[in-house]
Structure formats: C-alpha cells, structure tokens
C-alpha cells in the first residue's frame, strides 16, 4: 500500500504514514492495515515496542479521509460510514489497551482521526510545529476516536472549551491538556528512533521543557465560562462576559454545529461523571456517529467545509436555542447496532 509503510526494524514495529500531500489523512484501508500490524506484533517476541510516525513537515495526520464518507452518505448509503467508524474505533481501543509501548511522533497537524492513532499511545511526542485539535463540531460530528475521553479527563473545563471551540493546541498546551507526554525538538527525532529500534528501550525518550502555552493561565476563566450544565448555560455565560476569551470562543462556536456542540457537552459530562474508560467513550461517540449522516449535520458540514468550501453551513439548529433534546436523542442507546469491539 502506497499510503502507509509497515515493517519491522530492529526491536521496533514501525508504522509510517506516507501520503504527506494529503496531510497523511487516514483512509479505511490504512486503518485496517494498522490494526493487522498491531495484532501481529502483540505476540511477536521480536517486537519490543511500536513506533508510529509520518512523512512530511505539515502533518502527522490531519484527520480521516472523508471524501468517500461524504459520497456514500449523499447516495443514501449510511452503512459504509457506520462500518468505517466502528472499525476505526475498534483500532482506537486497541491502541489504548496495547500491551507494548506505543510511541507516536506528532509533527504539524494532528487532528480528528490523527488523534485516534496517536494520542491513546503510551508515549506521545510533540515538537515546535505540533498543532493538535478536535475540530469535529465544525463538520457536524462530535470529538470522536476516543478524543472525548481525553477531553473529559483534561483539567477543569478545558474539555468543553477545546471541544466546542475546536481550538488548536501547541506542544505545551497539548501536554497540559493530556494529549501528549513529551516535547522533543523534531531534529532530535531520527536519533531517538534509531535508539528505540536498536534497543527496544523507551528509556531513550527524554522530554525537554516546551515553549510556554496559554491554557494554564486561561484555566480559571475557562472553568468559570464553560462550567454550565448544558450548551445553553455555557452560551449564556459567554454572552454575559465582556472578556476577549469569551468573545473569541463565541465567534468560533457560531461557526460550528449546535447539535454537535450540545451533544459534545452531554458526552463529556457523562464520561467525567462516570469515570469513563476508552470503550465507554467510544460507545457513546458511536451512538452519535451512527446517526450523524441521516439525522445530524455531518453531510452539510462536509459540503460547506470540504466540497463547496463556501464555509456557510445550513445547520439544523440555531445557537440562540441550543438543541438539548435533539442532542439527547442522538445519544440514545443503539440496541442491536451498538458499538462492539469484535473484528
């Protein structure tokens, strides 16, 4: 497969995304190839650890390859997307639960589906160019691929802030919010990877102090503004504030799907309150994505952002009247269609 390179080098199982011109967007075939490699290496005594990285400077992986999702959904074939998401989420759980060290090197954009194949690893490395985000509310989805769990476990109400505004995190903020572990300048990466391949010893990963971020200092204000019981309460708090942060957050949120944002708040509250694990998070996310094409804003969001690129989506709901009831409906149990983690 030309989009991905999978091999063993020394003591390491190596996965390299090789479609830099497409910002290493992950296709369905790439997802299945990664899963097969992880299954093979889990019981391979020659493989001490797994390294995932990517070619190019712009992106580790800017998300999932959504063109086929859009085409099939527009044709009324919702089953393709439902299968894609189910299989992708199974891979995300496998990475989170992997029995060997799983080391991700995340330069440039790491967003959406890219978060799912990196930020659940045991060792997550960022550099100066790293920009990590969960932008799903902007295209009519919810933060998925297990990203909702990372958001729910972030300090205070950073999860609501990052999920609803789709803000990007540099290296320090990504570490602070729980999406990364170590900052290492990118020009040091080849030597570290060589040592990991040679020894199979994660002790060679030694992080440095990253350039300062902004989330730590903004935390008290974010906590106050995003502490509402639902999206409506958060919007009310933001509109009542005259701060620059509140104004910037509202500007971002007015671009996003109200249904997605209302559902995101509900998912984060459920995960945080129940001490959710990765499978719980993925199962909740799947309730939404299973319905996203037929009942949500996903197809309209993709049309506006990717197909027509007019940046003027016609969402089903208005932020002036956040759709709390509709969000709860999107998150009802799926019964026989519920997320499973079986191949």
CB 287 within 8 Å of CB 330:
yes
Q: Which of 13, 53, 63, 64 is catalytic?
A: 64
Instruction: Return the ∠ at Cα 67 (arms to 65 and 68), rounded to 5°.
Output: 95
Instruction: Supply 54's token pair.
Output: 């990517």
Sheet holding 109-111: strands in order across? 59-61, 109-111, 131-133
Q: Pick the catalytic residue: 88, 144, 266, 285?
A: 144
- From the list 63, 73, 108, 113, the catalytic residue is 113
| CB-based contact 4:65 (threshold 8 Å) | no
What's the gap between Cα 62 and its chain centre? 10
Tokens found for residue 299: 């197809």
- In the residue annotation, 198 being an active-site residue is answered as no
Active site residue 144: yes
Token look-up 């997307």 returns 81
Confirm whether 113 is a catalytic residue: yes
Please answer whether residues 129 and 57 qualify as being in contact, where contact means their C-beta atoms are separated by less than 8 angstroms. Answer: yes
Strands (E), the chain: 4-9, 12-17, 49-54, 59-61, 102-106, 109-111, 123-126, 131-133, 182-183
CA distance linking residue 155 with residue 336, whole number of Å: 35
Assign residue 33 a region (left: φ > 0; alpha: ψ between -120 and 50; beta: otherwise). alpha
- Whether 64 is a known active-site residue: answer yes
Active site residues: 64, 113, 136, 144
């Amino acid at each position: 497969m030309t989009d991905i390179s999978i091999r063993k080098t020394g003591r390491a199982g190596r996965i390299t995304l090789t479609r830099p011109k497409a910002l290493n967007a992950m296709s369905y075939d790439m997802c299945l190839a990664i899963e097969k490699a992880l299954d093979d290496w889990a019981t391979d005594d020659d493989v001490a650890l797994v390294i995932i990285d990517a070619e190019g400077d712009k992106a580790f992986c800017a998300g999932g390859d959504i063109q086929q999702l859009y085409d099939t959904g527009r044709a009324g074939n919702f089953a393709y997307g439902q299968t894609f998401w189910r299989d992708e989420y199974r891979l995300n759980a496998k990475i989170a639960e992997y029995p060997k060290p799983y080391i991700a090197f995340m330069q440039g954009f790491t967003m959406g589906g890219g978060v799912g194949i990196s930020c659940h690893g045991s060792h997550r490395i960022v550099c100066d160019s790293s920009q990590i985000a969960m932008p799903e509310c902007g295209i009519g989805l919810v933060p998925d691929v297990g990203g909702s769990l990372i958001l729910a476990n972030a300090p205070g109400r950073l999860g609501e802030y990052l999920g609803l505004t789709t803000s990007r995190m540099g290296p320090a903020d990504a570490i602070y919010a729980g999406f990364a572990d170590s900052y290492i300048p990118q020009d040091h990466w080849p030597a570290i990877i060589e040592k990991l391949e040679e020894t199979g010893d994660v002790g060679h990963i030694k992080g440095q102090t990253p350039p300062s971020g902004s989330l730590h200092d903004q935390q008290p204000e974010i906590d106050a503004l995003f502490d509402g019981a639902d999206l409506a309460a958060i919007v009310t708090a933001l509109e009542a504030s005259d701060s620059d942060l509140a104004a910037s957050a509202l500007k971002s949120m007015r671009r996003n799907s109200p249904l997605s944002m209302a559902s995101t708040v509900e998912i984060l509250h459920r995960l945080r309150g129940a001490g959710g694990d990765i499978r719980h998070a993925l199962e909740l996310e799947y309730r939404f994505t299973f319905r996203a094409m037929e009942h949500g804003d996903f197809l309209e969001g993709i049309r506006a952002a990717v197909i027509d690129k007019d940046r003027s989506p016609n969402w089903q709901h208005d932020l002036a009247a956040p759709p709390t009831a509709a969000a709860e409906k999107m998150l009802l149990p799926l019964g026989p269609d519920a997320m499973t983690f079986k191949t």
